[in-house]
Amino acid sequence: MEKFRIGKVTANKRTEGSNWSLYWRIGGKRYRRTTQTLLRQTAEEIATAVWKALQERDYVAVDHALSTPIPDSITFVDVLDAFEVTSPLLFKSLLEGQAPSSALFQITVGFEGWESRTWKGNKSIRKRLRKAWGDLQVKAITPTIIEQFLVRQEQSSSTSTRNHYLTALNTVLKWAQKYKLLSALPTRDVRHKRVVEHVPEALTAEEIGLLLEQLQPKEKKVVMFLHDTGLRVSEMTALLWKDVDLDRRIILIRNNKGSKDFRAVPLTNRTTRILTDHQDAIVKSDLVELYPRLERNLRDQLGIAASKAKIRHVHPHIFRHTFATELVDEGVPLETIQKLLGHKGISMTLRYAKKRGKGLREAINVLQR
């Protein structure tokens, strides 16, 4: 027989297949209640709530604690299904054939705090979590289980990837806690690890020139645009004509990483010509669609061109790094670069100051006698 005690509430479980029972006394009278849970962790939470209510003489709260436990049948996959759902009807269909759970049926919509690109970026993480924890009862997820899982991810990939898993998992479990599917957050004491600072790669002017020579006109146009504006690919693909002012030669970039703010990015002569020519050549639409194909296609074309040019590996984001590094080299203040890139904090921008020493050498040259 398993037993434990919370305050003056005693709990026991007679056999492996039996539910936990709670015992306490009020005015010399002994009370016994059987819970609806097989799990010790759940029983401890119920006993804690009962003891708190007894101390406050709130007997309604005692009944509530006993009548609304978190169902043991809810698995991590159940939680993830509910987290990912986009409509109540779809969620109801997910529950068909499952044992009724009042806790799950209270949920009418999934998590709404991520943008579409975050959902896309976390897809492989959620897929891996499904595979690893499939039918594991969500109540049984402990800090130890989480730490063991994160160690495996770090060993097979990197510390940064390990931190990405923890961030996604923490978001899912916090959401579950909000809907009373968890009473305690198992990720609360699991910390992110410090990542060795990565200095962003940047192409040289010579490498940019060699790459452009090998690109097709459409991809060449995109590379010049990204290089001259420092935009993320997602920002370029979301750019609207209403946010393009060719007369003033400026574009507005909205919803920077989920923020409602926007930033203004001036256009070079080259990017102004690119947008003007593009506007004249396409059918009128709200989106600029400078590159309507998938980002994967752009990556493939860049890889082919880089191979022909005999330069290092090139990816779309490297042009943003190159944009920032060139501005640092030319002595543009970091605060200005921060605004152009849309960084929330200066620490992200400071990485570029460590890339090349041109500005530092020029500063020392001032002291030459």
Catalytic residue set: 232, 257, 317, 320, 343, 352
- The answer to whether the beta carbons of residues 12 and 43 sit under 8 Å apart is no
Could you tell me the two tokens for 1? 């027989």
pLDDT digits (tens, 9 = 90+) for 267-294: 999 999 999 999 988 877 899 999 988 8
Mean pLDDT of 18-25: 91
pLDDT digits (tens, 9 = 90+) for 169-198: 999 999 888 776 777 789 989 999 988 777
Q: Quick one: pLDDT at residue 219?
A: 96
Mean pLDDT of 303-308: 96
Mean pLDDT of 124-129: 92
Q: Quick one: pLDDT at residue 369?
A: 47
**Is 360's pLDDT higher than 80?**
no
**Is 100's pLDDT higher than 50?**
no
Q: Quick one: pLDDT at residue 338?
A: 94
All domains of the chain, ordered by start, with CATH?
A: 2-67 (no CATH), 76-178 (no CATH), 205-364 (1.10.443.10)
pLDDT digits (tens, 9 = 90+) for 51-62: 999 999 998 888
Q: Quick one: pLDDT at residue 322?
A: 95
What is this structure's pTM? 0.61
Q: Which of 13-27, 88-102, 329-343 has the highest mean pLDDT?
A: 329-343
The span from the CA of 211 to the CA of 224, in Å, is 11
Q: What share of the chain has pLDDT > 70, as a percent?
A: 85
Residues 346-361 as b or e (16 or more Cβ within 10 Å = b): eeebebbbebbeeeee
Mapped onto helix, strand or coil, the DSSP state of residue 317 is coil
Mean pLDDT estimate for the chain: 85
What DSSP letter does each residue of 179-233 carry, written as one string? Answer: TTS-SS-TTTTPPPPPPPPPPPP---HHHHHHHHHHS-HHHHHHHHHHHHH---H
Mean pLDDT of 147-166: 92
- The answer to whether the beta carbons of residues 18 and 10 sit under 8 Å apart is no
pLDDT digits (tens, 9 = 90+) for 213-268: 999 999 999 999 999 999 999 899 999 999 999 999 999 998 655 456 789 999 99
3-state helix, strand, coil in the chain (%, to 5): 55, 10, 35
Residue 265 φ/ψ, nearest 5 degrees: -125, 115
Per-residue confidence band for 348, with pLDDT thresholds at 50, 70 and 90 = confident
